[in-house]
A and B are shown apart, each in its own frame.
Chain A
Amino acid sequence: MTELWNGLIKAVELIVTLDPEVIEIAGRSLGISVTSAILASLICVPLASLIHFHQFRGKRFLISLIQTFYSVPTVAIGLFVFVFISRAGPLGWLGLLFSPAAIVIGQMLLVTPILLGLTISALRGVDRSIIDTARSLGASGFQAAIVILREARFAVMAAVIMGFGRAISEVGISLMVGGNIRGFTRVITTAISLETSKGDLELSIALGIILISIALIINIILNRVQQR
């Protein structure tokens, strides 16, 4: 118990005194995961609209496939990305393995199903009469889609925030394709994993507190957004 207590005190000290290592790792984690969530949403929101606004064979199946991948294991994505971007792999010439870019790619793949699925649900939630009204007022298909997207903006935002939450809390991808290089690809989760296994609990606890605080902030924002 004393170990935990001492660790906790030292951890709070590390945070309050803005320990450079803690700030650097937390900053990198946020930077990487925000980038992943934003880049993924730039792809996923239009793609989800495309799926939602078009009728085609196998649409229902596609959507349940997307939902199945909500809980894809991070290590499976880590392995997949590793095989592709390793120098011996098909995208090896890019030299991306063990870099922050590699983590971003992995996290984008991780959050894509969540973003797609939740955005489609968000669009579905919009009252059918709004699209009819827009069309009857002479809106083109594209304009009508914009109207619907605007109606669903809070739910879409919630989806993006959910995606960010999943990205920042994952450890498998960062460890496998980032390599946990100190000062380059070490993020909150990989640092916690390494420091705990080495028995250095203070840094782990400090980073753990930051990670939980981020989760808390996300949840508060998410709650506010969903009350819309």
Chain B
Amino acid sequence: MNFNRKIRTKIIIFSTVLLILASLAMGAVGCAKSSEAAPLEPKQRVRVATTTSLYDTGLWGYLEPMFEEQYGVELDVMYAGTGKALEYGQRGDVDIITVHSKAREEAFVAEGYGVERVPFAYNYFLIVGPSGDPAGIKGMLPEEACKKLMDSGSSSFVSRGDDSGTHSKEKSIWQKAGYEYEAVQQAGTWYIEAGTGMGPTLMMASEKQGYTLTDMGTYLAYKGKLELVPIVEKGDILLNVYSAIAVNPESAPKTKIDMASNLIGFLTSPEIQELIGKYGVDEYGMQLFIPCAGAEPTK
């Protein structure tokens, strides 16, 4: 009896130790994967906070290994809405941000948190919705479409609601249509604030068969999973410019300005600009991003 108990104890202790060792080994394998090609000293880590549209389209996943190889660093890509990315930059938690909200980017640079705003690609926003178009807004200008949505108050509209660049754009459209944003938020249950990234917001709009404002790139990348079609595509307000901003080392001394500058140089280099322009064309049959190295597109 006593003997039996001892053996069982030993078995339990043994298996627990085994489990711990196995998991530590697996953890080591997991970590080793990212450093197998590394020389003796660990690689420098560079952090970029990116708007979710550049992440959900897979563009960053495509560019990341190229940059890592060219400069021998580890690039950590964090997906966050423009608001969150600006906040990370302001706190000095990332070295560089890639975002799309011109007015807020200019304020970020003017307040000394960012070095310079460098546009590198653009595309257009559009309003997508169910193919039946229950609100009857197809082909309208975005401002008119918003007015009609507000008046009817019966068709769902899914807003990013996460302080992102797309969310800022949506707010400015409501404003241009003549509404205070607070009034829109309280307009009724048809107005849904998702509080999440572009891809998930599209998924939600599709599930709820509602309308949403999206950038062209993410919409094309997700089109296969969605039951949504383009509804509103015309209007100057729908221009969507992506830019990169290095975090100012004067406001955040620990950030890696050299690597941030390298990354901006990389994004605006002719070869990478060409790749950005071609990205996704084969897969989605349409251009996701239009390159614009350093120059502000006007329309």
Binding site for B on A (CB under 8 A): 20, 23-28, 30-32, 34-35, 38, 86-88, 92-93, 95, 97-98, 100, 157, 161, 179-184, 197-199, 217, 221, 224-225, 228
Contacts and interface: CB of A to CB of B under 8 A. Distances in A.
A92 B92 contact: yes
A28 B23 CA distance: 8
A34 B92 CA distance: 30
Given A98-B93, A182-B61, A183-B33, A197 B196 contact: yes
A198 B203 CA distance: 7
Interface stretch (B73-81, B170-178, B265-273): B73-81
Contacts of A224: 8, 12
Interface stretch (B24-32, B140-148, B151-159, B208-216): B24-32
A27 B16 contact: no
Given A184-B34, A197-B203, A198-B203, 7 more contacts: A23-B30, A31-B23, A31-B27, A88-B90, A88-B93, A97-B93, A184-B76
Task: Report the interface size class on chain B.
Answer: 35 or more
B93 A24 contact: no
20 contacts: A23-B29, A27-B28, A30-B22, A30-B26, A31-B24, A31-B28, A31-B30, A34-B23, A35-B24, A38-B20, A87-B254, A88-B92, A88-B93, A92-B92, A182-B61, A184-B34, A198-B56, A198-B203, A199-B225, A221-B15
A141 B186 CA distance: 65
A197 B197 contact: yes
| Interface secondary structure of A, over-half rule | helix
B226 to A, nearest CB: 9
Nearest to A185: B76
Contact of A181 (B19, B28, B77, B252): B77
Contact of B12 (A26, A97, A221): A221
B27 A28 contact: yes
B31 A87 contact: no
B199 A198 contact: yes
Nearest to B64: A182
Given A30-B26, A181-B76, A87 B19 contact: no
Contacts of A86: 91, 93
Given A181-B76, A184-B76, A199 B27 contact: no
B291 to A, nearest CB: 24
Given A221-B12, A225-B12, A23 B61 contact: no
A35 B56 CA distance: 31
Query: Which of B26, B34, B203 counts the most A-chain CB atoms under 10 A from its CB?
Result: B26
A26 B29 CA distance: 11
A77 to B, nearest CB: 18
B29 A24 contact: yes
Contact of A228 (B9, B77, B197): B9
Nearest to B222: A199
Interface string B246-270: 0000001010000000000000000
B78 A27 contact: no
